[in-house]
Every structure is written in C-alpha cells, then in structure tokens.
Structure 1
Amino acid sequence: MTGELSPIDKAKFVAARRAADFVEDGMRVGLGTGSTAAWLVRCLGEMVREDGLKFKGVPTSTRTADLAREVGIEVISLDEARWLDLTIDGADEFDGDLNLIKGGGGALLQEKIVATASDRMVVITDIGKQVETLGAFPLPVEVIPFGWQTTQALVEETLISMDVLGRDATLRMNGETPFVTDEGNFILDLHLHRIGNARQLALVLNQMPGVVENGLFIDICDTVVIGYGDGRVEMRDINEGTIEHDRLDFVESENLFTDLSD
C-alpha cells in the first residue's frame, strides 16, 4: 500500500507511473530491469488489465520477463520486435547531459542492446541518482568468465591513463560464488569515484579482449523522469531542451503494491 512506502519508494513509483503514460496502444516497448523498472512494469500491468492498454513488451532480463508475464503484459523477444518505439528503464546515476551509469542489477548488456534498438529511451529515477560527474556509483563491466582475472588486471592497468580518481576493480559476487549474468558472464565493478571523460572510457573499455560491454550509456537517453517523495515529478528532455513539472496523487491499489519482490 502506498501509505506504507518509504519516501524513496514513493519517488520511484511516481516516476514510473508518469513514464507509463508514454506507452500507447500498438507500441513495442523495452522494459528495464531494477527496482524502479519493476514499479513501471506493475503500473503498465494495471493499465493492461483495467484500461485495456495493448502493447508488446521486450524485457531486458529474465526477472523483468517473469514479472511482466505475471502482471499480464504480452512479452516478445527483441528478435521478434526487431525495432522498438520506446524503452523505459532506470539508472544508477545520471548527469546533466543525461549520460548514465547502469548495471547495478547486472543486466547492462541486454539493457544497452534494447535501449539502442529504440526510437526513444526514457529513464525513470529519483533525484538522489543525479550527479554532477559520473563515477560515484561503481561502473559495471561485463566480462567473459575465461581469463577474467587477466581481464581485470588489464582493465586496472588501462585505468592508469584514464581521467579517473580510483582504479580498483572487484569481481561481483553472489554469496560465495561469482555473480553470473543472463548471458553467463561475470561483472567487474570499477570503483572510479569520478569519471572525467566518460565517452573516452567507454570506448577504451570496449576495445579490450574479454570485455563484453560496460555500463556507461552515452548519448542514449532522451528523457529522464525524476520522482520525488512528495509526489512531484520532473521531466527533462535532452533533445527539446525542455523541463516540465507535474504532481501525482497516490492512489491505493492492492494489485499494484502487494507482493512486489524487486
């Protein structure tokens, strides 16, 4: 129930609810992964059941796919969709140019593929994710398991020549074993603290053998929807150069707010 939500969860919910209005009948929509994206999927499922919204969703992870089917959204693969009208996803950080760090949930590869196969990417987030310069959140880098320690050493060596404040890379764990992505890869989290040239870093990382993809999303996001704990919503469009404000009232809904595991 919304009355039991923390301010941060309220902020995530209002951002997700406002972004759900971008979805129209007949669209093919990329569905992101993470706690904020889970709110979006719940909101869209409610619109499917109660308002008759008809669209096809392309999930960016098995977790999102399972939740989407659970709430009644028709799920198809990216190969079936071929191209998307819209992708809505969360972010771990965003800056003033709407560049992002993503991958805290471990789905950065599918998230980037889906986002770049879309006419428009909308990011839903709370104001706490805004930063002046990317890098406070550890940068995820997906690597193949074979020789991952060598890849880690190469990454750390390469970071010496990059405009960053930290150079430590740690293997993401799931308990006592390495975290494994949906594609069967590992993730190195780079503790950089500050990234002076995110575009350069993204290009350099992806040229390294063993690296599959990195969590820097540069020039991909078109619109960010920022939620606040009091129901306010701010929408920034990087292409139009516009900033809009709105406010959403919380509406109690048992179907929407119960059994949300993400």
Structure 2
Amino acid sequence: MNQDQLKTLVAQAALQYIEPGQIVGVGTGSTVNKFIDALATVKQRIRGAVSSSEASSERLRAHGIAVLDANAVESLALYVDGADEIDPHGCMIKGGGAALTREKIVAALAERFICIADESKYVPVLGRFALPVEVIPMAAQQIARRFAAHGGVATLRLQGGQPLRTDNGQHILDVTGLCIDEPLAFESEVNNWPGVVCVGVFAHQKASVCLLGTAEGVRTLRF
C-alpha cells in the first residue's frame, strides 16, 4: 500500500474508539482529513466535534457535522490527530500544518489522544522532522538564537514569499538539527521562553494510543 492508502486505513481504524453520543476532538492534516471523511459515515452516532483548525472545521461542516467551540466543552473522551513524528513512548512532534497551538488546546481537553499515522512517522528519537514552534513575530530572532544554543537552526516558515500566519495570527519557526531525547523536559523549557506561543513537542499531551499504518495492516501501540 502507498502512503495515502495507509492514511485511509488508520483513519478508518480510529472509528472503533468512538462511542455513541460523544463529542469528538478532531485534529488537522492530510491523515485527519481521511478521518473526517470516515467520521461522516457515522455522524449520526456523535453529538459533534471540537476542531483544531479552520480547515478542519470547514471540512467537518461540509459533511454536516456540528462544530462546537472548545469553550463550550468541559472535556472530551478522545482526540484524534496525526503526527509528524512519534517515538516509542507516545511523545510526538506536531505542527507541520501550522495548527499546533489549537491542536494542543484540544488535546488537553481529551481523556485519550488517538494518534493516526503511517509507519514512516515512527522514530526512535524525536528531531529528524523540523520542529515547528509558533512564536510572536517580535520575538522570532531571539528565539532562533536560543535554539542555536541547543544546536538547532530555526527558519521562518513562508507562504507565498511572506511569513506564514497561523489561525492565531502568529508566525512559525521550523527548527532542524535537534535531537529531542528528553521530550517532556524540552517542551517545558521551550514553553517558558518569552515569545513562544507553543512548541510542537507533544509530551505533556502525548498519545494514549497510536494506530500505525504498515504494509501488514494497522499496528496498535499503547502508551
């Protein structure tokens, strides 16, 4: 199976975790788009969804699925999202789609994080994928210097030749050259740097389950 087929496979497998009457937390990205399409086939079973991006909200509404404001929900039974990388402990790098801050907010509402990914995303140590960091624009260069002290190279993400603006109106730095062998401590440290809105390490909100698409089918990892 190709990567697109693996994404479809894990997206459909995630439906088994949805129980009648639930409000489902929904992430962002190409794998999640497959999940939203799959969710539409059982939409009569759920009360609605809390979405992590404008793009996902549009796709959910197009399928006739009600999108609820996160402030209107006290908790979620589960949050379904992809990952750019996931390690053997369930810690992830996320933010390739620039929605990391809202993804982390919705993930924090959920009792369980169901990660859906193909096997190329499974790594022994985080850091091969460029780490996205959402920043307040005036702090970008200061934050880039801090990453340089950690051996990282921070590059401002562009869109159409201009700095990309997130749904929150902020910028993204993509940081290469990192080896994140202590994700929890690293996430805590970077979150304390002035000007950082959100770092794309998900260790405090790590996965509970990962549905990993492989050539042999869906492999279920529990953390």
TM-score range, shorter chain: over 0.9
Q: Who is 1:87 aligned against? A: 79
CA distance in 2, matches of 1:190, 1:213: 13
CA distance, structure 2, for counterparts of residue 128 and residue 148 of structure 1: 30
Which structure is larger by alpha-carbon Rg, 1 or 2? 1
Q: CA deviation at 1:25?
A: 1.7
Deviation at 1:57, TM superposition (A): 0.2
**Residue 36 (1) aligns with residue 31 (2):** yes
Partner of 2:163 in structure 1? 178
Post-superposition CA distance 1:201-221 (Å, at most 9, x none): 211111111111101111521
Asked if the contact 1:9–1:229 (Cα under 8 Å) also holds between the matched residues in 2, the reply is: no
Query: In the alignment, what sits opposite 1:126?
Result: 118
Paired residues of 2:23 and 2:46 also in contact (CA < 8 A): no
Which residue of structure 2 aligns with residue 163 of structure 1?
Answer: none
Match of 2:52 in 1: 60
Q: 2-side partners of 1:133 and 1:28: how far apart?
A: 33
Q: Deviations over 1:59-91 (max 9, x none)?
A: 100000000000111110111112111100000
2:100 corresponds to 1:108: yes
CA distance in 2, matches of 1:151, 1:131: 26
Question: Which letter maps to 1:131?
Answer: V
Runs of 4+ in structure 1 deviating by more than 6 angstroms, as ranges, are none
Deviation of 1:197 (Å): 2.1
2:185 is aligned with 1:200: yes
**Matched pairs, number:** 222
Which among 122, 127, 150 is matched to residue 135 of structure 1?
127
Does 2:214 align with 1:235? no
How far 1:17 sits from its partner (Å)?
Answer: 0.2
Q: 1:100 to 1:93 in 2, by over 3 A?
A: same
For 1:255, the equivalent position in structure 2 comes to none
SS of residue matched to 1:154: helix
Aligned equivalent of 1:45, options 40, 44, 55 = 40
Is 1:224 matched with 2:216? no
Secondary structure (helix, strand or coil) at the match of 1:202 reads helix
- Unmatched 5+ stretches in structure 1: 1-5, 160-165, 239-262
Instruction: Kindly provide the CA deviation profile for residues 35-71 of structure 1, in whole angstroms up to 9, marking residues without a partner as x.
Output: 00110000001222xxx32321001000000000001
The one-letter code matched in structure 2 to 1:184 is G
Give the RMSD, CA atoms, in angstroms: 1.4
Q: Deviations over 1:214-239 (max 9, x none)?
A: 01111521000011356x1111121x
Give the percent of matched residue pairs that are identical in Structure 1 and Structure 2.
Answer: 36
Does residue 1:188 correspond to 2:173, yes or no? Answer: yes
Q: What amino acid does structure 2 have at the position aligned with 1:37?
A: V
Q: Partner of 2:138: helix, strand, or coil?
A: coil
Q: Do the aligned residues in 1 keep the contact of 2:147 with 2:153 (CA within 8 Å)?
A: no
Structure 2: distance between partners of 1:113 and 1:205: 17
CA distance in 1, matches of 2:61, 2:219: 30
Letter in 2 for 1:200: A
Residue 68 (structure 2) aligns with: 76
Q: Is the 8 Å Cα contact of residues 133 and 198 (structure 2) preserved in structure 1?
A: yes
* Secondary structure, aligned partner of 2:76: coil
| TM-score, normalisation: structure 1 | 0.81
Deviation at 1:193, TM superposition (A): 4.4
> Aligned partners of 1:202 and 1:192: how far apart in 2?
16
Aligned partner letter, 2:211: V
Q: Secondary structure at the match of 2:64?
A: coil
The answer (yes or no) to whether the contact 2:126–2:180 under 8 Å persists in 1 is yes
CA contact (8 A) 2:6 2:118 kept: yes
Aligned with 2:187: secondary structure? helix
The answer (yes or no) to whether the contact 1:10–1:228 under 8 Å persists in 2 is no
